Structure 1
Amino acid sequence: MKTGTDKPHWQGHRERLRGKLLSRGAAALDDYEILEVLLMAFIPRRDVKPIAKALEAKFGSLSGVLAAPAADLVKVDGVGETVAAYLKAVAEMQSRASLQEIRKREVISSWSALLEYVRREMQHETREQFRVLFLDRKNQLIADEVMSQGTVDHAPVYPREIARRALELAASSLILVHNHPSGDTTPSRADIDMTREIIDALIPFEIEVHDHLIAGTGGVTSFRSAGLI
């Protein structure tokens, strides 16, 4: 017989999950459990385990949940605008923290951190996006800017615009970045030709293209590592 002092079943689960996190560390939690911990703060009086599992099922992964647009998040039962806003804030906090870490060091010497940042930022984009990382003479990041947004398989790129922006920022070199929404990060012929056009446009200004990175759910492909630059 249930009494007024009985705790809801999910309250005991929350306490156990918090204890697991604090005693064993966040790495001991599954992805959906990490989501549960976040949702516990945003949804104080409900069993959030089904919501966490529904989010993971719909978006495929923890990174997919954080990358999902707010308009898609609220389609999951139990996720309202407030929860969606908090999840987007967590995603932005993660992005800014990663970018700040890269800014502290020479980009070339922190390559693995850069690749992880690029992968996290772009692998779940549903439209092709072209970004440029502008670097100074010490190969430290000046700016990470989206130069164009496109369709599912094309983003217009204007070499002269990239050159103009590099001069405005007094950049000495740059790294080109774009994504393939298909997930396949194999460079296309158009990707290779476009890279060559940008390199040629920057030669008169003595601005070097260190690399061109293509991100997707399959990882990140480097033109330099592939021998394409």
Structure 2
Amino acid sequence: MKSFIAVLRGPDHIFEFVNAAHREAFGDRGLIGKARADVFPELNDQGFADAPRKAFMTGEPVFMRDKPARFDDAPEGQPAKRRLDISYEPMRDSHGAVSGLFVQGRDVTAIGDHPLEQRAMAQGLEILTDAELLTLFLYHGTLDADSADRADHLLHRFGHLGGVLSASLPSLQQIVPNAQSTTSRSVSSSAALHLKLARELGRRILFTDIAARPVLANASSLRTYLRALLASEPREKFLVLFLDQAHQLIALETLAEGTVAHAPVYSREVVRRALELSASGLILVHNHPSGSDVISKSDLDITAQIGRAAAALDINLIDHLVVAGTKVVSFVDRDLLPRSVGRR
């Protein structure tokens, strides 16, 4: 299934370029230099006029999923009635103004013919490998048919599924070139967003569990959540759980992001935020992107500094958790929390 591509210029959406797949799907129609509304007049009253207009006016991408379309003059071998996925992504000039639209799409009339989908429907998703699961996910989330190839490149670049889902949008959109190819294995913005949505949905499901009960009575769920949140992060992050007197979660916030080995955090900022939230207790959290579970001197020092600052205001430092790969290390469990500020 090839992706069709077009470039439209100006507020009238004048065709500047279409690829071979576009011509195959919709015919030539002598469209270069003509307005979209004139080339496909039958689509104007089917909702296909509003989407490009909105993308051009707002400067934000617009996506149409599984959109029914009826063509009055379909090319030979193509049905008159089809279902399409289309994205309209604004293109900007040197001054930042929207000057056109990059249009990409695919015909999904025959969606469901992918062999992996047939296997999953018959035997369940559990039988798919990580690469196959990612392939099928991209197949439904991208406007490109090369999902298996791109899934392989994503897993190679980021190591595993967790790494793929934790990757930033820019890094997902530009994958390193294949060593055996001169082409760049990029992922469309819609596919990258699709991956980030999957991670966010999972995060919210896990977060619901830790927010529902006192944190100390739910330590296992908290550690599961933190592993899912931080284990694959490429840079160090410093988070704080702010708790009330009953150890119920008030907020979980990221207070610092840094390099591969360091995230600068200041005790006064942690305590100031605790006062703003009327928090009675704190649990500090940070990750070691290297996967090492060795607690460094700087880890000990910042814990002691925050503990002293918090204790001076009668705020209890309950624990400091370090996510190191699949492990979650507790200062309390290792007897590393300063005695003067330990859990109460």
Q: Bin the TM-score by the shorter chain.
A: 0.7 to 0.9
SS at match of 1:213: strand
What residue identity is the alignment partner of 1:191?
A: D
What residue identity is the alignment partner of 2:168?
A: P
Query: Which one of 118, 127, 132 corresponds to residue 226 of structure 2?
Result: 118
Q: How much has 1:43 moved relative to structure 2? A: 3.6
**For 1:74-89, what aligned pairs fall within 5 Å after superposition?**
74-76=173-175, 77=185, 79-89=187-197
Alpha-carbon displacement from aligned partner over 1:106-135 (angstroms, at most 9, x marks no partner): 111221111121112122222222110111
SS at match of 1:205: coil
Alpha-carbon displacement from aligned partner over 1:125-167 (angstroms, at most 9, x marks no partner): 2222211011112212111111112222222221122111111
What residue identity is the alignment partner of 1:74?
A: Q
Note if 1:53 corresponds to 2:152: yes
Please say if residues 172 and 186 of structure 2, whose CA atoms lie closer than 8 Å, have aligned partners that are also in contact.
no
**For 1:1-229, what aligned pairs fall within 5 Å after superposition?**
11-20=113-122, 23-24=123-124, 26-43=125-142, 46=145, 48-76=147-175, 77=185, 79-229=187-337
Alpha-carbon displacement from aligned partner over 1:9-34 (angstroms, at most 9, x marks no partner): x93513423324xx44x333322222
Alpha-carbon displacement from aligned partner over 1:6-63 (angstroms, at most 9, x marks no partner): xx9x93513423324xx44x33332222212322212467252232222222211111
Please say if residues 176 and 213 of structure 1, whose CA atoms lie closer than 8 Å, have aligned partners that are also in contact.
yes
Q: How much has 1:216 moved relative to structure 2? A: 2.7
Distance (Å, rounded) in 1 between the aligned partners of 2:290 and 2:275:
33
Please say if residues 239 and 286 of structure 2, whose CA atoms lie closer than 8 Å, have aligned partners that are also in contact.
yes
Please say if residues 261 and 289 of structure 2, whose CA atoms lie closer than 8 Å, have aligned partners that are also in contact.
yes
Q: CA separation of 1:185/1:118 partners in 2, compared to 1, >3 Å: closer, same or farther?
A: same
Higher relative contact order (CA 8 A, sep 6+): 1
Structure 1 portions without partners, runs of 5+: none
Please say if residues 163 and 233 of structure 2, whose CA atoms lie closer than 8 Å, have aligned partners that are also in contact.
no
Q: CA separation of 1:106/1:29 partners in 2, compared to 1, >3 Å: closer, same or farther?
A: farther
Distance (Å, rounded) in 1 between the aligned partners of 2:322 and 2:159:
21
Please say if residues 143 and 188 of structure 2, whose CA atoms lie closer than 8 Å, have aligned partners that are also in contact.
no
Structure 2 portions without partners, runs of 5+: 1-76, 78-109, 176-184, 338-344
Residue identity (%): 40
Distance (Å, rounded) in 1 between the aligned partners of 2:281 and 2:115:
52
Corresponding residue for 2:20?
none
Q: How much has 1:170 moved relative to structure 2? A: 1.1
SS at match of 2:283: strand
Please say if residues 199 and 209 of structure 1, whose CA atoms lie closer than 8 Å, have aligned partners that are also in contact.
yes
Q: CA separation of 1:45/1:88 partners in 2, compared to 1, >3 Å: closer, same or farther?
A: closer
What residue identity is the alignment partner of 2:121?
A: G
Please say if residues 172 and 187 of structure 2, whose CA atoms lie closer than 8 Å, have aligned partners that are also in contact.
yes
Please say if residues 184 and 218 of structure 1, whose CA atoms lie closer than 8 Å, have aligned partners that are also in contact.
no
From the CA coordinates, give the structure whose radius of gyration is larger.
2
Q: Point out the structure with the larger strand share.
A: 2
Q: CA separation of 1:126/1:218 partners in 2, compared to 1, >3 Å: closer, same or farther?
A: same
What residue identity is the alignment partner of 2:131?
A: Y
SS at match of 1:11: coil
Distance (Å, rounded) in 1 between the aligned partners of 2:144 and 2:309:
59
Q: CA separation of 1:11/1:48 partners in 2, compared to 1, >3 Å: closer, same or farther?
A: farther
Q: How much has 1:68 moved relative to structure 2? A: 0.7
Please say if residues 124 and 216 of structure 1, whose CA atoms lie closer than 8 Å, have aligned partners that are also in contact.
no
Q: CA separation of 1:44/1:168 partners in 2, compared to 1, >3 Å: closer, same or farther?
A: closer
Distance (Å, rounded) in 1 between the aligned partners of 2:173 and 2:284:
34
